[in-house]
Amino acid sequence: MARKKKELPLLEGVKITGVAAEGKAIAKLKMSPSDESEMVVFIPYGAPGDIADVKIDRRKRRFAEGHIVNLIEPSACRTEPRCGHFGTCGGCKWQHLPYSVQLECKQKQVEDALTRIAKVEIPAILPIKGSEEIWCYRNKMEYTFSDKKWRSWEDIRSGREFDDSGNALGFHIPGAFDKVLHIESCHLQDKAGDDIRNFIFGYAERKGYSFYNLRENHGFLRTMMLRIASTGQSMVVVSFGEDDKDKIHDVMSALSEKFPAITSLLYVVNTKLNDTIGDLEVVAFKGNDYIEEEMEGLRFRINAKSFYQTNSRQAHELYSIARSMAGLDVMQLEDSRPVVYDLYTGTGTIANFVARNARKVVGIEYVPEAIEDAKLNSRVNGIENTIFYSGDMKDILTDSFILRHGHPDVMIIDPPRAGMHPDVVETILRAEPRLIVYVSCNPATQARDIEILDAKYRVEAVQPVDMFPHTHHVENVVKLSLK
């Protein structure tokens, strides 16, 4: 017979003392009178200074996780969340913290990563660059259609009757692939996004079109992506789970008629078992198959599959900092211009942004479609000193590759959250560029790589940048020079 699971305790009067790297609040306390030492407890949606009763949900040897069941004394630094979905949606876990406090937490997150993980000598970290806009800053949002509307715990506990077959268009509940929270408003994108999303939801319901069943993988309406660029151009991509041309034409025509200002109205037929569209044909129903972002007079074309930083204004801030740290923000004599390698170049935004003051920019990226976008963006802007290659970084960036394309004076590195492969770091160490600018969306893996680079490089400057207000995510730019 299975052993009965031990009931985890309810801890009363817990004082929350800080915020952890992944966004949860933390408290340090003894779990029982018999404990000899304190344990760290991670608590979502807490604020430093809160005093609360906390129910423990999971306990490990070194830490525990719990949730607030009764907020006895709210922290003085708490603020009222703007969004009615706060605490359920999971997208903006820090809306209850004033923006100034959010920035303090992100600054500390970068400092902790570099001191605890990298364990290298660092200069004073520059004050974090906050986002000028903290609402409606996202240029891209993705939504999911579902034929089973997820109910909040408050709804379920209320005792009211609900129809489980209700449709939803919104966000996945964190950690649950088949649970979608229906939303009518989101404060992260321009209101035009709400108008489009609410229209297609209401139109599909009136017409009786089926929403996708995420467990059984069937249904007509599947996902939708909205992009609203800083140029005012907009893109809507609707993914259909059935290849019914008449119904597809009806939905797209309704969108076109209701929102004639949409500059790129696209659709995809996706009958696969996953939502990715990278390997599918994107059909332009109306307008161009791309929209454009603008940065210092440069135009960057973005299609349905392209990556672009989702906070356009802060992307300019981030790339300007990287360019300045690389010494590429001032014009130099042609003979003294550096050879630049842009690793993990994506669609070549950084490469094209810094090209005017470089002798040559070599961009490398894993995704072939992204490299085609990078080449296109160079042609659109009349940039002739860039060259791009696609493939796995550890396979492309080799000693022979560097011999063919020239020794890099400067390397700009912007890897995914996992950081760099050890082989890539070793190649960089052998190449010995005089300057490395490391842009990262994950200070922990950045710190890990910097610890290895410390064999030949010293940290000269550290600049955190906030791209995503109300979340725990933070970008960080580090300048390293050859010892």
User: 3-state DSSP call for residue 380?
Assistant: helix
- 234, two tokens: 């907009």
**What torsion do the CA atoms of 452, 458, 459, 460 make, to the nearest 10 degrees?**
-160
Phi then psi dihedrals of residue 256, to 5 deg? -65, -40
Q: Looking up tokens 């600018």, which residue turns up?
A: 437
Backbone Cα Rg of the chain:
25
Question: Annotated catalytic, 136?
Answer: no
Phi then psi dihedrals of residue 168, to 5 deg? -140, 150
Nearest C-alpha neighbor of 126 from the set 96, 145, 106, 146:
106
- 278, two tokens: 């990278």
Nearest C-alpha neighbor of 262 from the set 192, 358, 361:
192
Alpha-carbon distance of 251 to 158, in angstroms, equals: 36
Q: What one-letter code names the amino acid at 234?
A: S
Task: Please provide the distance, in angstroms rounded to a whole number, between the alpha carbons at the two ends of the chain.
Answer: 64
Between strands 180-182 and 221-228, the pairing is unpaired
**What torsion do the CA atoms of 412, 123, 483, 439 make, to the nearest 10 degrees?**
-10
Alpha-carbon distance of 43 to 51, in angstroms, equals: 12
Q: Which of 89, 92, 105, 441 is catalytic?
A: 441
Between strands 457-465 and 475-482, the pairing is antiparallel
Alpha-carbon distance of 309 to 140, in angstroms, equals: 9
Residues labelled catalytic:
441
